[in-house]
Structure 1
Amino acid sequence: MAEPTPIELPVIDISNPHDPAVGKAMLDAAAKYGFLYVNSKGTDFTAEDVDHGFELSKKFFASPAAEKETCRIEPNNRGWSGMHIETLDPEHQRTGDFKEAMNFGDFKDGKAQQPLPPSLKPHESEINDFAGLCNKTCTRILTLLALGLEINEDFFTIRHDPTTGPTGSILRYLYYPSLKSEATKSYKHDKDVRAGAHSDYGSVTLLFQRPGQPGLEILTPEKTWAPVPIIPGNGSEAEKKKYPFPPILVNIGDLLSYWTDGLLKSTVHRVVFPLAEQRSEDPQDRYTLVYFCHPVDTTELVPVPGEVVRLHRERTGGIGEGGIVGFGGGAGSLEAGKRPLTAHEHLMSRLEATYGFKKDE
């Protein structure tokens, strides 16, 4: 069996977040694919920032289970989740995801608002700094999307400002063990995945990846799975030299799709064991750093104003009266009742489906 053909996604330079032409390019990519790359040279991240983030991640996941247990994930979506704890596609998965994760919520005055394990306590300020860079990058992306939608450029950013209240934003360390690991002994080909099919719950997601550790696939409009390259293009040495580190992969979440009545795509995606790894004599672990950008908890999810969204609604009918949120993985959907749904209510419902948490928790 041959590897499926990788999808080609645009690479966008966000160094000038006030350029309407860049906003239009970002809107076009978000409406067509729901995924795009951000040129790493157009951000405030250095290669050292990213390398250090991965070093901290590896240090944490290599620490004893007893230490990780001291910060087990709670209903507020902060903390450590072990192997098979998260089930992103409960309708189709035989078992939970083949991964571990560590989630960091909002920091306040540079301090984590959650327990930190011994391996990470000395690095609290560095984790906070990385999350801050992620938030700054998301602010640029949200500004550009507003320009592309021809609305006030601060429409999204003022609703994602953590200085105005708590948000659901999460910085996440992810570890997917390779097929040579004890943790994957129960893996069954064609039945199990590293992360089940799902769409992201929030507004914008940033994904940092390492060369040689593939696995992400997106569901195309033709309903086939297409791998997403870590380095866009042909993966040649010349292509790699364009970037200080692999371009940040950006995808649209459910909330931006809802806000724009379906104009922006919240594309279903998953993480698999690629065929090349299954055939390899030396399969590699996969590590990623992810930032899930969410609005302030009290934000009401009402459709974006403006002609671009209005014309889309007239042309397609939008996503339905009341606004259905939640597009993938059998994780469930929400319908707004007599008042607009809030960002926090949407997030809590999605987490309940993923982890089995109860709303009253």
Structure 2
Amino acid sequence: MFDTPTAEVPPLSLADEAADPVAFAAALGESFERFGFAVVSDHGVPAALIARAWAMTEAFFALPEDTKRSYFSAGGGGARGYTPFKTEIAKGATHVDLKEFWHVGRELAKGHRFEAQMAPNIWPDQPEGFRETFIELFAALDLAGDRLLSAIARHLGLAPDWFDHAVKDGNSVLRLLHYPPVPADAAEVRAGAHEDINLITLLLGAEEAGLQLLTKEGAWLPIKPPTGAMVVNVGDMLQRLTNHVLPSTTHRVVNPAPERRGHSRYSMPFFLHPAPDFLIETLPSTITAERPNRYPTPISAHDYLHERLVEIGLVKK
């Protein structure tokens, strides 16, 4: 299926998972092993909810700078609420990214066992309906992620519910991203080359130009999903868990063509994380003589996340 370096990431339909879960798992796994990415339509997230979320996202980022910054929590590591423009930097990069964003996390009941590791959400006073919209979207993406993880488990020869215990009350984050217009002389890019930290990322909004992945052959491949489809990619936690059977692929968001530099770009990635106490320990089935264990020392999801947030400048040592 993937016979050339410039082959496009093939479109898949999550509707096929219900009809033939084994075949869907094989197709998803093949796409991940080849690209670290998949393009998935019929994901079950309602189109009307997505449209409402886009409207809320644009309305929030159009607010005055002082209003947005009132929701910034200094020292919070960007875990919740607003993170200002030019804050995050890709690991190893010399320039900060040209973006601002908002984080929504899981709503926990008072006294929950992960209360110390997972900060409470911050909600803006405007636009009206923001909180309700993104709680609903978080839940819908969480459900789609569960279905995708079940297929990944099948592909790895595990029970379909293997990830259920890992992600129950997981520290997942929904990020609302705004890339403002880019000056012609900008030295920075919208998002420098990086890998994601989490298990998998579910991305809405990638039909807007700019997202590229680095192929195994060393070429940058634009991702052009059909309208309404989501892009799903492997994160470093899943790469580590699978001993690189499923690779976490480097990707970036490049600056637009000159005629589009005056336009904003928006996207909504859902970073699906395990629970803070989940132990990331290499799956025995992925260790062979040809593929020795790269990670003999396990690490908790919470500790791994903290290490990486330090690297990208959101948390200070």
Q: TM-score, normalised by structure 1?
A: 0.78
Task: Give me the whole-angstrom Cα distance separating, in 2, the residues matched to 1:47 and 1:124.
Answer: 18
Please report how far the alpha carbon of residue 209 of structure 1 lies from its aligned counterpart in structure 2 after TM superposition.
Answer: 1.1
In 2, Cα distance between equivalents of 1:37 and 1:284: 25
Q: CA deviation at 1:76?
A: 6.2
Give CA-to-partner distance per residue, 1:217-251, whole Å, 9 cap, x none: 111112222211143xxxxxxxxxxxxx4210000
Question: Please, which of 225, 232, 245 is the counterpart of residue 263 of structure 1?
Answer: 245
Counterpart pick for 1:204 among 200, 204, 208:
200
User: What is the alpha-carbon distance in structure 2 between the residues aligned to residue 12 and residue 78 of structure 1?
Assistant: 32
Aligned counterpart, 2:186 = 187
Say yes or no: does 1:92 pair with 2:93. yes
Secondary structure of residue in 2 paired with 1:250: strand
- 1:296 and 1:282 mapped to 2: Cα distance? 39
> Which of 233, 252, 277 lines up with 1:251 in the alignment?
233
Q: Does the CA contact (< 8 Å) of 2:193 and 2:252 recur in 1?
A: yes
Structure 1: tracts of 5 or more residues without a match: 232-244, 323-335
> Which of 146, 149, 153 is the equivalent residue of 2:153?
146
Are the aligned partners of 2:201 and 2:232 in contact in 1 as well (CA < 8 Å)? Answer: yes
Which residue of 2 is the match for residue 223 of structure 1? 218
Say if 2:101 is the partner of 1:101.
yes
Alignment of 1:1-361 (within 5 A): 8-15=8-15, 16=17, 19-39=21-41, 41=42, 43-73=43-73, 74-75=76-77, 77-89=79-91, 91-93=92-94, 95-108=95-108, 113-120=120-127, 122-162=129-169, 167-179=170-182, 184=183, 187-188=186-187, 192-209=188-205, 211=207, 213-231=208-226, 245-274=227-256, 277-278=257-258, 280=259, 283-306=262-285, 309-310=286-287, 313-318=288-293, 320-322=294-296, 336=297, 340-359=298-317
1:282: how far off? 6.9
Contact 1:151–1:305 (Cα < 8 Å) also in 2: no
Shift of 1:122: 3.5
Could you say if the C-alpha distance between residues 356 and 246 of structure 1 is closer, same or farther in structure 2, counting changes exceeding 3 Å?
A: closer
Count residues with an aligned counterpart. Answer: 301
355 and 7 in structure 1: CA distance in 2 versus 1, 3 angstrom threshold: farther
Q: Residues 121 and 88 from structure 1, CA distance in 2 versus in 1: closer, same or farther, beyond 3 angstroms?
A: farther
Q: 1:121 to 1:146 in 2, by over 3 A?
A: same
For 2:114, the equivalent position in structure 1 comes to none
State how far apart, in whole Å, the 1-side matches of 2:290 and 2:81 are: 43
Aligned Cα root-mean-square deviation (Å): 2.3
TM-score, reference length from structure 2: 0.88
- Change over 3 Å in CA distance of 1:84–1:281 after alignment to 2: closer
**Amino acid aligned to 1:13:** S
1:172 and 1:282 map into 2 onto residues whose CA distance is 23
- What is the one-letter code of the residue matched to 1:295? P
| 3-state SS in 2 of match to 1:197 | strand
Structure 1 residue 296 displacement after superposition: 0.3
> In 1, Cα distance between the equivalents of 2:33 and 2:303?
25
Identity %: 26
How far residue 356 of structure 1 moved from its aligned partner, in angstroms, is 5.0
Instruction: Give the 3-state SS of the residue equivalent to 1:249 in structure 2.
Output: strand
CA distance in 1, matches of 2:303, 2:260: 46
SS of equivalent residue, structure 2 residue 72: coil
